[in-house]
Structure 1
Amino acid sequence: MSSREGKHGGVQMTALYAGSILFMAAAVIWGLLSGSAELSVGEIVGILLKNITGYEGFFDGQKNIEMIIWNIRLPRILLALLVGSALALAGAAFQGLLQNPLADPYTIGVSSGASVGAVIVLFFQVEIAFLGSYTLPLVAIIFSFASLFLVFGITKAASRTYANETIILSGIILNSFIGSVISLIIALSSGDQMREVLNWLMGSVALKNWGHIGLFFPFFAVGSAVILFHYRELNALALGDEAAQYGGMNVRRKKLTLLISAGLLTGAAVSVSGAIGFVGLVIPHLVRLVTGADHKHLIPLSMMIGGGYLVLADMVARTIVSPQELPIGVITALIGAPVFTYLLIRERIKRRKMAC
């Protein structure tokens, strides 16, 4: 590569990072401005500065307006930002790790495990005294890890090398079984229970507060840090297990580390927002079209785009049929399914042309 090409590539990548940061920031600002209570940018900045610094002079308006922004809109937007980032990051990691463009955070059954945990809590009205409203997300996280270890157990029994195909097949088996359990619970539910379960399964960040962010953030920080740190290993694994092993990598150990980290992100995200599809499937695909397959850039850019995308999807979900709200999973599916179909057809056409 010439110095001119390298310089051009560096400028292009800088522009991509700047554009992604602006997209994410614009989504957050737009989300804060959208809603029944109309406010100016200056008023919102004043409310944020007042609550961050404690200085009353930044905003002397109505207390109920301040409460709407600080206690309702901001936690909801930040949670959507974190969940979108986590799902997109997990999707990019799964696709590189399993060498499968159709892999996403739901591939290995972690999301299904979290879902069945949440559905059991809703169906049996379980509430642990010292956890209160956090019973559901914590139980969902526990079940997500249980499903992850079940997948590992099935895979180890069938393939001691943790072959990618075996991991995916194990996930499909577990997803099918858990799906039937959830269907059984829904069939046994009363009208109100069924509505509550279905709403959760379609995904939402409504009625979430700072406590949910506090619950989710440690899992997000640990899972993200591990995957970001292992971008070189993901590049090697994307070329195949044998190539990575010849390069001196302990393939089994690295696979387990990355699978647990991506599963941690998925389970924690699903536990606080419900099942939100297509973010981890579509966003890494779109980013890969621009950046290529280098995980050094694919991972952080997917995080930023995924976070901003879910904030915008949530804004649409809560405003398009106002005063009613749509589940955010409906919006992501309506957008994601056609986009992914287009990408899939485009990739097949491209491969046919290359073969000819």
Structure 2
Amino acid sequence: MSNSLEHRKRVRTTWVLLILGILILICFVISMNTGYIKLTPLEVIKTLFGGGTAKQSLILFDFRLPRIVISILVGAGLAVSGCILQGISRNALADPGILGINSGAGLAVVLFISFYPSNAAAPVFMLPFLALVGAGLTASLIYSLAYKRHEGLSPNRLILVGIAVAAGISAAMIVLTLRLNPQNYQMVAIWLAGSIWGTNWKYVLALLPWIVILVPYALYKARVMNILSLGDQTAAGLGTAIEGERLRLLATAVGLAGACVAAGGGIGFIGLLGPHLAKRLVGPKHQALLPASALIGGLLLIVADTLGRWILQPSEIPTGIVVAVIGAPYFLYLLAKSKA
């Protein structure tokens, strides 16, 4: 009976992951056809195989494809980061944006934009490292303030400290933007709204190593996250080095969030929505929850980016605003449910 139940769960998980992958592929194709300059499906296919005009190749390969790929990578990275944070804190409301990690990464990027004299291409590969430093320092501050020696890490205290630190960092960023020249101010304003601003292959190459290394590491630690979710006493009884594992997983979540914020801007709620929707589909075990969260995060962000480019053509709605329209009501629903 138990083996039959496990088999059904594995089959269900496989189907869910397969369907999510197909949905991402469909949205990928739709997104290639979406934009101010129209490309029909036939023109897209011809251009992909080298038969399009120079203008069509420029639009597809230099503008749309990098943006689509970055949307999927950023969505997947933020969702996995949120999944890790929810697992190690045992708090359903944990998210890199809500905890202030995104804000810390954003502050580092804004500082760089404020003091760097130009927008040359060379610093592109520095942005994830700068965002990682900002996110890491913020996470360290939040962890040190939320941790009590005799009580350990309280999930509720972690959330409250994160919200407070995020508010302080947001205030600091507002002060910084007041001293920017008009060009940099516009760039920062668009970035803070959550626009997919890294729309060339250099940003893809800057982000890809972080996703390729840290997401598989998170999957490798799935069993540890399952144990940590049982509570500190149970995890310690099973021989788990709680604080060491928690710090390593926190560093993984911070690295993912920082790199994604550097390429995608201040996009919130993906780290909250992805894991919650995945848990409803595949259950709480992280072996299935992490890949499902990554696929849902990528799907949500590519849909939000496509809608943002389509709704108010020729203008664009920043992707972060579209995600917030979806995510804010769901966050309020989760908040109300947790109080109940």
SS in structure 1 of the partner of residue 315 of structure 2: coil
Query: C-alpha root-mean-square deviation of aligned residues, in Å?
Result: 2.5
Native 8 Å contact 2:198 2:264 kept in 1: no
AA aligned to 1:163 is: L
Answer with 300-309 or 8-17: which moved more: 8-17
Q: Equivalent residues in 2 for 1:84-163 (5 A)?
A: 84-127=75-118, 131-134=122-125, 136-154=127-145, 158-159=148-149, 163=153
**TM-score, reference length from structure 1:** 0.86
Match of 1:204 in 2: 195
The 8 Å contact of residues 161 and 252 in structure 1, kept in 2 or not, is answered as no
1:279 is displaced (CA, Å) by 0.7
Change in Cα spacing, 1:16 to 1:36, as seen in structure 2 (3 Å) is: same
Distance, in Å, in 2 between the alignment partners of 1:8 and 1:92 is: 24
> 1:259 aligns to what?
250
Percent same amino acid among aligned pairs? 31
Deviation of 1:107 (Å): 4.3
For residue 3 of structure 1, report the CA deviation from its aligned partner.
Answer: 4.7
Aligned 8 A contact 1:84 1:308 in 2: yes
Partner amino acid for 1:195? Q
Mapped to 2, the partners of 1:83 and 1:95 lie a distance apart of 18
Q: Is residue 83–residue 269 contact of structure 1 (8 Å, CA) maintained in 2?
A: yes
Alpha-carbon separation, structure 1, partners of 2:200 and 2:207: 11
Letter aligned with residue 232 of structure 1:
R
Cα distance in 1 for residues equivalent to 2:206 and 2:3: 47
- 1:234-273 mapped onto 2 (5 Å cutoff): 234-273=225-264
Helix, strand or coil at the partner of 1:100: coil
How far apart, CA to CA, are the structure 2 residues paired with 1:343 and 1:108?
16
Please name the residue that 1:67 is paired with. Answer: 58
Q: Deviations over 1:278-323 (max 9, x none)?
A: 1111121112122221111111011011101101100111111111
Q: C-alpha offsets along residues 230-274 of structure 1, whole Å, 9 cap, x if unaligned?
A: 111111111111111111100011001100000000000001111
Instruction: Decide whether aligned partners of structure 1 residues 227 and 246 sit closer, same or farther in structure 2, where only a CA change above 3 A counts.
Output: same
CA distance, structure 2, for counterparts of residue 173 and residue 207 of structure 1: 29
Q: Does the CA contact (< 8 Å) of 2:96 and 2:102 recur in 1?
A: yes
Kindly indicate whether residue 20 of structure 2 is the aligned counterpart of residue 29 of structure 1: no
Paired position in structure 2 for 1:5 = 5
**Separation in 1, partners of 2:229, 2:91:** 9
> What amino acid sits opposite 1:27 in the alignment?
C
| AA in 1 matched with 2:19 | G
Q: Residues 305-352 of structure 1, C-alpha deviation per residue, up to 9 Å, x if partnerless?
A: 11011011001111111111111110000111123334444x45xx96
The CA distance in 1 between the partners of 2:333 and 2:140, in whole Å, is 35
Residue matched to 2:44:
44
Call closer, same or farther: CA 1:284–1:308 in 2, change over 3 Å: same
Q: What amino acid sits opposite 1:217 in the alignment?
A: L
Is the alpha carbon distance of 1:147 and 1:307 closer, same or farther for their aligned partners in structure 2, counting shifts above 3 Å?
A: same
The aligned counterpart of 2:318 is: 327
State the alpha-carbon separation in 2 of the partners of residues 314 and 130 from structure 1.
24
Answer yes or no: is the 8 Å Cα contact 1:23–1:305 preserved in 2. Answer: no
Deviates most, 210-219 or 141-150: 141-150
State the shift of 1:225 in Å.
1.5
Rounded Cα–Cα distance in structure 1 between residues aligned with 2:217 and 2:161: 24
> Structure 2: which 5+ residue stretches go unaligned?
none
The superposition leaves residues 179-204 of structure 1 with CA deviations (integer Å, 9 ceiling, x where unpaired) of 22112223444655443322111111
Q: Look at both structures and tell me which one has the larger radius of gyration over its CA atoms.
A: 1
TM-superposition CA deviations, 1:127-177 (whole Å, max 9, x none):
597834555554333322332333445456x43885144544543443233
